[in-house]
């Protein structure tokens, strides 16, 4: 329709308005999204740099183009309405509506509209931009600029005003991580590793929310105690010496019957020790017990036939296995069961008077036993190694938490600490180690000053004296536990309250 | 279908009509315009004005210009319906036998001046209802068709309401327009005096007859109305109803009853005539806005709040138009003497 061409000047007039509206609308939409994004970035203390501005400007451009094409471009119908506002009394709109009609009145109307369109100056068609949209655009741009100017670490600034975290608790958390790292650093058997992690998890649960360094030290001491108990197994030498002492305790002038009875009782003791060692999975103790049993077997004073002694040994081993209630598949159990079978075979060979070197058979059987037990021994060594490492870490952490300024010296592993011989009952041994200071033998009056012993550089668990700062927390924990269990009288409770209160000061 | 001749005929006759009417009526341009629009559109008009402003003269002059039979009915409180419609009378036929014959009443004319219609009883007023709407009269069981074109111009006095019977809504809704004839201005009064010093009779010459008027009516009906204007008209009439959820708060506050669908019909019909009279071949928003006053002022009932606020129908209509066009509603009471069509300058599209 020719008359529609008359609308071109008006369209050119309104194109800038459409572009402006598209840009404003795009800026409002993208700006609003940016404000939300900036708020989130501030909460996360993340600085977006320049990328957000670049991305926003690009998005505004793209959105503006889309809005221009699909919404704000002055379509003919809209254009006619805008032109009519300039005083055409809906001539243009009616002209567009009747563009496909050919009645006389429609033709007359188009002609009338065309005549009037030529008389209207396109400049009379005013731009119409919503004031609200302009205000909204300015508002989002200002908000964007304002939020961009605010430092992104504003949350941390606020956080700094908060009271500082308990340093001791921080150290405790570091300790827990150190323990876990130490366990992971060692190549441990999965069961040992699992046990270690379980103990650390339990320790972590127990220290949750603690604020008092003394309480923290008490918990550390309890963990140390637990690890120490796990480590405190009789070593081969210790067991052997204990058995040797037991043997030495026997008097030579006892009649043979008494000797046999004593030997039988000794065998039962060894068998019981062997069972306990099997339960504990202590390969060291197992081989020590077996050595004792072998020594009993090869006792030159035992005049019983070899097959009888072998049978007795085999029975003792079976009894120990049964008492231990260990299951098949247990390394030690399997090794011992095989050993008993070898012993039975040796006994049968002795009975059948075969030309077989019994001792050679026994040596081979024992060698097989040692080979089978070796993996268990390895496990035991692993266990001991990790426990010692953890104890060292715990000791150092406890000192730091308690604020001990003394230099932390390397603690000598218990294996290397010279073990003082424990004198047998009734035997006058060396002078008894002095009782620990502050013990029950000394009555401490409330308010009395107590001289702390902090001169021993090396912690000797058997020396009877120890730097007080290292054990105070443990003693205090034990005291609290005793109170909880009602093991102390009220009078003693009052004494100890005063005692520990002064120590705390 | 409308052709060039029809359009030229319409345009030429409109000018002549106004020129001739101006010879008898001084000023009142808007009333003249609306009266002619109503005549062409085929609607009835209710004229309200103080005595002596030229209501009867206008109707008589229009009768002369349109060369249509004119009849005047002066309503009084004792008037009966039969006095309007006619009645059966007994008369002797040629053979001398008595027979009933229907004597046409004054309503059997083309232009009816129903003077002071509010003085008649509602029963008598209702006699006009059928004639105004259906252009028929039923009497004695027979229905008589009235002349075409048929046009009722009723008048009523806005003062001295004592002893009058306000038109029921059903009847007032049948009036196409309600026009307010205000007191003439100083210059107009001087012109009236000078004119009537020469002669009291109407001097307007016949311009068109009934067939020509019907032709003009048919031509005006062909004027196109775009959908947006139609939507706006419907929106305007709907907005007068306070019971509707879509009506503005302004309506809910100041209007008690809204206009009937006849208002929308009258608006579009009259707008087409007005557009063509203005030389346009399309209806504009301006036509609707300008005609809203004569179409709606007698079709809406104001609420108690508007009465206590001193608002009249035209003020409320103006406020409603501003509300629909995004402007603040003008609620200031207007001068009652201000001609109705001068208010159109207040409202935009």
* Strand (E) or helix (H) holding B87: strand B86-92
B218 touches chain A (CB under 8 A): no
A85 touches chain B (CB under 8 A): yes
CA distance A393 to A464: 23
Residue B82 CB coordination number (10 Å): 15
CA torsion through residues A497, A498, A499, A502, sign: positive
A419 touches chain B (CB under 8 A): no
Q: Helices in A281-413 by DSSP H: which ranges?
A: 283-297, 306-324, 331-351, 358-402
B223 touches chain A (CB under 8 A): yes
Of A93, A97, A104, the CB nearest to B4: A104
10-residue mean pLDDT series, chain A (505 residues): 82 93 96 93 86 93 96 92 89 92 90 89 87 95 91 68 69 92 88 90 90 89 90 53 51 53 62 69 73 73 76 78 66 76 80 67 73 66 84 90 57 50 49 49 53 48 61 77 73 78 74
Of A85, A89, A105, the CB nearest to B224: A105
Contact A89 B223 (CB under 8 A): no
Instruction: Tell me how long chain A is.
Output: 505
Residues of chain A contacting residue B7, judged by C-beta atoms under 8 Å apart: 105, 108
**C-alpha Rg value of chain A to the nearest Å:** 47
| pLDDT for residue B222 | 92
A89 touches chain B (CB under 8 A): yes
A78 touches chain B (CB under 8 A): no
* Strand (E) or helix (H) holding B257: strand B255-257
| pLDDT for residue B88 | 82
Which residues, in sequence order, are CB contacts of B109 under 8 Å at separation 6+?
Answer: B68, B69, B70, B71, B147
Q: Each residue of B288-337: pLDDT tens digit?
A: 999 999 999 999 999 999 989 899 999 999 999 998 887 655 544 434 44
d(CA B118, nearest CA chain A) in Å: 39
Contact A98 B224 (CB under 8 A): yes
A105 touches chain B (CB under 8 A): yes
d(CA A151, nearest CA chain B) in Å: 45
B223-346 has CATH 1.10.8.80 classification = yes
A340 touches chain B (CB under 8 A): no
Residues of chain B contacting residue A106, judged by C-beta atoms under 8 Å apart: 224
CA torsion through residues B328, B334, B338, B341, sign: positive
Of B3, B7, B226, the CB nearest to A94: B226
Furthest C-alpha separation in chain A: 153
Residues of chain B contacting residue A85, judged by C-beta atoms under 8 Å apart: 349
User: For strand B301-302 and strand B255-257, is the pairing parallel, antiparallel, or unpaired?
Assistant: antiparallel
CA distance A376 to B291: 111
- Identify the closest residue of chain A to B349 by CA–CA distance: A85
What ipTM did this prediction achieve? 0.82
d(CA A87, nearest CA chain B) in Å: 10
CA distance A269 to A263: 10
A104 touches chain B (CB under 8 A): yes
d(CA A89, nearest CA chain B) in Å: 5
What CA–CA distances, in Å, run from A230 to A233, A393, B213?
7, 17, 123
| pLDDT for residue B69 | 85
| pLDDT for residue A446 | 53
Please report how the helices A358-402 and A283-297 are oriented relative to each other, as an axis angle in degrees rounded to 10. 150
Q: Which two tokens stand for residue B217?
A: 């009516």
* Domain spans, chain B: 4-79+106-212, 223-346
Task: Enumerate residue ranges in chain B where pLDDT < 70.
Answer: 160-162, 199-200, 202, 327-349
CA distance A497 to A446: 9
| pLDDT for residue A31 | 95
Of A81, A93, A105, the CB nearest to B281: A105
Top residue of B228, B272, B282 to mutate, by most chain A CBs within 10 Å, is: B282
3-state DSSP percent of chain B in helix, strand and coil, to 5: 45, 15, 40
User: For strand B177-181 and strand B45-49, is the pairing parallel, antiparallel, or unpaired?
Assistant: parallel
B222 touches chain A (CB under 8 A): yes
Residues of chain B contacting residue A128, judged by C-beta atoms under 8 Å apart: none
| pLDDT for residue A142 | 95
CA distance A289 to A278: 10
Closest CA to B78 of B128, B124, B130: B124
B230 touches chain A (CB under 8 A): no
B11 touches chain A (CB under 8 A): no
CA distance A82 to A77: 9
Top residue of B268, B274, B281 to mutate, by most chain A CBs within 10 Å, is: B281
B284 touches chain A (CB under 8 A): yes
* Domain spans, chain A: 2-158, 168-232+403-412+434-504, 236-356
CA distance A127 to A150: 37
A119 touches chain B (CB under 8 A): no
Residues of chain A contacting residue B283, judged by C-beta atoms under 8 Å apart: 90, 94
Of A85, A90, A108, the CB nearest to B7: A108
CA distance B101 to B92: 9
Residues of chain A contacting residue B228, judged by C-beta atoms under 8 Å apart: 81, 90, 93
d(CA B333, nearest CA chain A) in Å: 29
What is the dotted CATH code of the domain comprising B4-79+106-212? 3.40.50.300
CB-CB contact of A314 with A340 (8 Å): yes
């Amino acid at each position: 329709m020719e008359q529609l061409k008359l609308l071109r000047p008006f369209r050119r007039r309104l194109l800038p308005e459409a572009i402006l509206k598209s840009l404003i609308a795009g800026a409002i939409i993208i700006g609003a999204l940016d404000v939300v994004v900036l708020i989130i970035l501030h909460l996360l203390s993340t600085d977006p740099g320049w990328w957000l501005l670049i991305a926003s400007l690009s998005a505004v451009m793209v959105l503006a183009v889309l809005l221009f094409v699909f919404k704000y471009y002055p379509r003919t119908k809209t254009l006619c309405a805008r032109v009519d506002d300039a005083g055409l009394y809906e001539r243009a709109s009616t002209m567009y509506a009747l563009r496909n009609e050919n009645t006389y009145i429609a033709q007359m109307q188009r002609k009338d509209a065309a005549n009037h369109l030529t008389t209207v100056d396109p400049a009379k068609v005013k731009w119409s931009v919503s004031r609200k949209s302009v205000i909204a655009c300015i508002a989002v741009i200002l908000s964007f600029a304002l939020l961009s100017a605010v430092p992104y670490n504003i949350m941390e600034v606020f956080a700094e005003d908060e009271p500082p975290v308990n340093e001791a608790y921080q150290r405790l958390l570091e300790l827990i991580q150190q323990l876990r790292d130490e366990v992971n650093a060692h190549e441990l058997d999965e069961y040992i590793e699992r046990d270690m992690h379980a103990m650390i998890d339990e320790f972590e649960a127990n220290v949750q929310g603690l604020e008092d360094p003394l309480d923290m030290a008490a918990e550390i001491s309890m963990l140390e105690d637990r690890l120490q108990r796990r480590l405190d197994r009789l070593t081969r030498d210790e067991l052997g010496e204990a058995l040797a002492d037991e043997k030495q305790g026997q008097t030579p002038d006892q009649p043979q019957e008494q000797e046999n009875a004593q030997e039988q009782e000794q065998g039962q003791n060894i068998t019981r020790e062997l069972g306990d060692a099997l339960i504990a999975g202590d390969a060291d103790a197992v081989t020590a017990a077996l050595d004792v049993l072998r020594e009993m077997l090869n006792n030159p004073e035992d005049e019983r036939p070899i097959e009888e002694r072998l049978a007795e040994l085999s029975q003792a081993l079976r009894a120990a296995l049964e008492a231990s209630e260990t299951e098949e598949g247990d390394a030690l159990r399997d090794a011992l069961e095989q050993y008993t079978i070898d012993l039975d075979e040796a006994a049968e060979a002795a009975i059948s008077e075969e030309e077989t070197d019994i001792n050679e058979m026994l040596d081979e059987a024992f060698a097989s036993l040692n080979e089978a037990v070796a993996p268990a021994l390895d496990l035991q060594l692993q266990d001991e190694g990790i426990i010692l490492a953890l104890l060292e870490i715990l000791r150092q952490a406890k000192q730091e938490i308690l604020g001990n300024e003394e230099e932390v010296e390397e603690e000598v592993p218990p294996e290397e600490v010279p073990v003082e011989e424990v004198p047998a009952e009734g035997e006058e041994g060396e002078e008894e180690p002095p009782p620990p200071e502050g013990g029950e033998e000394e009555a401490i009056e409330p308010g009395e000053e107590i001289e702390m012993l902090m001169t021993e550089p090396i912690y000797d668990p058997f020396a009877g004296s120890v730097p007080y700062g290292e054990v105070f927390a443990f003693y205090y924990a034990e005291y609290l536990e005793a109170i909880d269990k009602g093991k102390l009288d009220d009078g003693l409770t009052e004494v100890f309250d005063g005692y520990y209160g002064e120590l705390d000061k | 279908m409308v052709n060039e001749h029809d359009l030229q005929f319409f345009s030429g006759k409109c000018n002549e009509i106004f020129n001739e009417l101006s010879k008898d009526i001084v000023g009142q341009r808007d009333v003249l315009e609306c009266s002619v629009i109503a005549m062409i559109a085929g609607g009835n008009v209710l004229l309200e004005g103080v005595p002596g402003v030229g209501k009867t003269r206008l109707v008589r002059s229009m009768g002369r210009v349109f060369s249509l039979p004119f009849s005047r009915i002066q309503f009084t409180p004792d008037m009966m319906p039969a006095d309007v419609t006619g009645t059966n009378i007994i008369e002797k036929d040629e053979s001398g036998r008595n027979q009933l014959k229907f004597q046409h009443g004054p309503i059997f004319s083309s232009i009816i001046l129903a003077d002071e219609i509010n003085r008649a009883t509602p029963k008598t007023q209702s006699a006009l209802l059928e004639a105004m709407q259906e252009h028929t009269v039923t009497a004695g069981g027979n229905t008589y068709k009235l002349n075409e074109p048929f046009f009722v111009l009723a008048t009523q006095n806005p003062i001295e309401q004592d002893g009058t019977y306000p038109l029921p809504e059903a009847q007032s809704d049948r009036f196409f327009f309600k026009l307010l004839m205000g007191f003439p201005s100083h210059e107009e009064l001087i012109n009236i005096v000078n004119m009537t010093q020469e002669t009291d009779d109407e001097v307007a010459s016949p311009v068109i007859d009934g067939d020509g008027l019907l032709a003009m009516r048919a031509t005006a009906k062909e004027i196109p109305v775009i959908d947006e204007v139609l939507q706006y008209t419907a929106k305007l009439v709907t907005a007068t109803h306070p019971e509707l959820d879509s009506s503005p708060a302004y309506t809910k506050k100041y209007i008690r009853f809204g206009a009937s669908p006849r208002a929308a019909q009258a608006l579009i019909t009259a707008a087409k005539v007005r557009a063509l009279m203005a030389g346009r071949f399309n209806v504009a928003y301006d036509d609707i806005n300008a005609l809203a006053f004569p179409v709606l002022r007698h079709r809406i009932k104001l609420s108690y709040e508007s009465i206590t606020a001193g608002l009249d129908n035209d003020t409320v209509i103006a406020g409603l138009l501003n509300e629909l066009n995004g402007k603040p509603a003008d609620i200031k009471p207007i001068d009652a003497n201000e001609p109705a069509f001068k208010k159109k300058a207040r409202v935009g599209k």
